[in-house]
Structure 1
């Protein structure tokens, strides 16, 4: 092995359970997740040269330890690899993780194992960006279309988009690329806020936050619904009174309704002119979403979903069945960038807008890169598209996302914006971090070691 190869050898995969006590303020609360503690399984992949790549998967508190264990169980496939050998044949390596002959039994390509794979894959992309000294959005934009396609596993989706069709779409996306890069660097990419709409917030807090974000230039707002119809009517009215009807409102039920219940409930909210209803029913119910989409079309209400969509195959079915009009990829729910790119390609072929989900630890930091790549190199437009922005936990990242005038600013630092500050890790690692010690001592949380 040459000295260069030796430097690029992966010597360790570390994973930490990082949790934030967001349930204390009802931050992140919705009809389904009433007391979330925003958390992540945080992976560090180290090369023999000392360079590190960081990746993560967003979790909700309890259960993070299970994802951490899954990363440990898969790490034998990563340690000892020469990292450029992975990038040269990334789709094959990706499949070696997702189709590990014994581990796949507890997936396959869904749930805990897929969340763990996303954290590993995200760390590898962060490392690739750092090796080339490029932010990941720029790395993706600069990849030749054939090379970009070599990272994607097309198994199970060729009846929706073939590799040749994908190549054609990417080649079409080359025209006008430089102008779009300049536009992105000058203006950024539009976003909406969910921060004023958490279900556990009192009216006064919603009013105060809605006004705050309005003053910051936001024109698109999302509110959580689904627990009590009269409360939802009141909350939608409250928001419309502040933002008016010339701005955009979306609503999100986080999977709590039956199909018919979703249709009837949304008819009552139709006077508030919501652009979309997000996750109206089970995230796996393709035909249920299609039924809701068809029933709500006369009311001008679209269906959005995808943050809990477990893999590219389910996305394929949602897209083919016209069960969603807004496709919401999540940077950690499916198997990292490699698989997410395939969803963007299917959505592009079928003419469906992608609006990423980003309400969680590090999700805003990651999805900005993906949507910026789509704007520059695939769809070529941000028309009718927005990235979610939730104003939480950004202070724990070395290179947090930057918002100006309700636009994500293009990241300039190398990597995937996923490196956490050492002091944040030591404070919030569960259960031994200093912040958790303090919370246990105050009796605010139960110490799991006792």
Structure 2
């Protein structure tokens, strides 16, 4: 279906009161209301594209304003012109001579850019009648590379190197597609051990997850060391010695504090410590990585890493052992392609951040592409899964035996149920109109 020209862009502030039951709570974000700046693109042919970026409540209205500020750069553009040289459109959005000042390529304006570009990718995949992952898998290496802005990263990954990686990834591609269709992509769960959950809830959720086939579990830590020791011991006893445990501090510690705190938790054999310190502190992460290596504990980060340039430096500095891409923090698929390819060159596995509102729905497309076309390996690779809010999407994530099953509907799996959007729109939706938790 030919989508024609983009004739309108709308952005809405959609929020869910998850703080009421402490869903999503961690050491830094104690009362998150999972939210999204939700974008709809309409074309003159009637075809629509849907995109979003994830937030945790207050401030979503600022992202919506930033999306609206990008409207003149998007409306009036022809989709075919965009996708023929997608990297040019990416730079068009991120390098406007005045808008760039409020970034560049970071913060609120980049979250807005992600939401808009996610909608463009959804629109493109719908026009081709394919899910986004299949759209990517079917592209020739040259077309994939044409989607990437290589500015600022050629000292780590050149266009020629990217092409070489993607060409090598063509071998055995169909077998990996068939494997994913049968088995799905391995996942781990964060839903059992939010920091605000009481022990009874934690035990019940762990027990249920084990019975459902989950074998990798993440625990939120960082508020109180003695409590972390107690909770990690409880979780390790619940899941047994053979299953995988990860811990996540959500940026709570200083560098030295991170090393000493995780050393105390090392008896529970975590695979990684996630976001141990400021997400911007590349050298701090490098210090932590080096200090924890003798304990067999890696460092994972990326969910609040601003852009491909920061990921480049993390990789160059050996500051992380697990790359956590996010489908809504950086500039959509365009920038994540660059990050996935850099991670492959530096031989660091990609284990995406997900959860939130729609993050699982979106990032599943990226992990399928990474395995099928780039890495060709599942060693030390798994994608986060959080069992919240999927019912608000038209095509929610499907998990079988703790694996993401490939979505088959055209698009980016990003379209929300309209009644849910209306009900949870802030502040006029029914959920929020008389709600005092603002």
TM-score > 0.5, shorter chain as reference: yes
- 1:388 aligned residue: 384
- Aligned partner of 1:38 among 9, 34, 38: 34
Which of 227, 231, 252 is matched with 2:227 structurally? Answer: 231
Do structure 1's residue 221 and structure 2's residue 217 form an aligned pair? yes
After TM superposition, where is structure 1 displaced by more than 4 Å over at least 4 residues in a row? none
Distance, in Å, in 1 between the alignment partners of 2:45 and 2:64 is 25
User: 1:171-320 residue pairs with structure 2 within 5 A?
Assistant: 171-320=167-316
Corresponding residue of 2:160: 164
1:125 is displaced (CA, Å) by 0.4
> In structure 2, the residue corresponding to 1:14 is in which secondary structure?
strand
The answer for the alignment partner of 2:12 in structure 1 is 16
Secondary structure of the corresponding residue to residue 170 of structure 2: coil
Number of positions where the alignment pairs a residue of Structure 1 with one of Structure 2: 438
Q: Distance in 1 between matches of 2:258 and 2:437?
A: 35
Whole-Å separation in 1 of the counterparts to 2:422 and 2:363: 26
Q: Give the Å deviation of 1:143.
A: 0.4
> How much has 1:359 moved relative to structure 2?
2.3
Give the drift of 1:72. Answer: 0.3
Larger mean Cα displacement after TM superposition, 376-385 or 56-65 = 376-385
* Equivalent residue, structure 1, for 2:374: 378
**Aligned counterparts of 1:280 and 1:379: Cα–Cα separation in 2:** 26
Q: Does 1:421 align with 2:421?
A: no
Quote the offset at 1:232 in angstroms.
0.2
Q: Secondary structure at the residue paired with 2:25? A: coil
Of 89, 114, 118, which aligns to 2:114? 118
Q: Distance in 2 between matches of 1:230 and 1:212?
A: 26
Instruction: Supply the RMSD in Å over aligned alpha carbons.
Output: 0.9
Provide the residue aligned with 1:130 in structure 2. Answer: 126
Offset at 1:383?
1.7
Structure 1 residue aligned with 2:150: 154
Aligned to 1:68: 64
In 2, Cα distance between the equivalents of 1:359 and 1:160? 30
- Secondary structure in structure 2 of the residue aligned to 1:100: coil
Which of the residues 387, 408, 411 maps onto 1:412? Answer: 408
Cα distance in 2 between the residues matched to 1:316 and 1:116: 22
- Alpha-carbon distance between aligned partners in 2 of 1:434 and 1:258, rounded to the nearest angstrom: 42
Secondary structure of 1:274's partner? coil
Unaligned residue ranges in structure 1 (runs of 5+): none
Instruction: Write the deviation string for residues 180-223 of structure 1: whole angstroms up to 9, x where unpaired.
Output: 00000011000000001100111111111011111100000000
Q: Distance in 1 between matches of 2:408 and 2:378?
A: 20
CA distance in 1, matches of 2:355, 2:302: 13
2 CA distance for matches of 1:96 and 1:10? Answer: 16
TM-score (norm 2): 0.99
Per-residue Cα deviation, 1:111-144 (whole angstroms, up to 9, x for no partner)? 0000000000000000011000000000000000
1:83 to 79, 86, 96: 79
CA distance in structure 1 between the partners assigned to 2:55 and 2:308 by the alignment: 20
CA distance in 1, matches of 2:423, 2:378: 38
Alpha-carbon deviation of 1:100?
0.8
Displacement of 1:49 in angstroms is 1.0
Secondary structure of the structure 1 residue equivalent to 2:186: strand
What TM-score, normalized to structure 1? 0.96
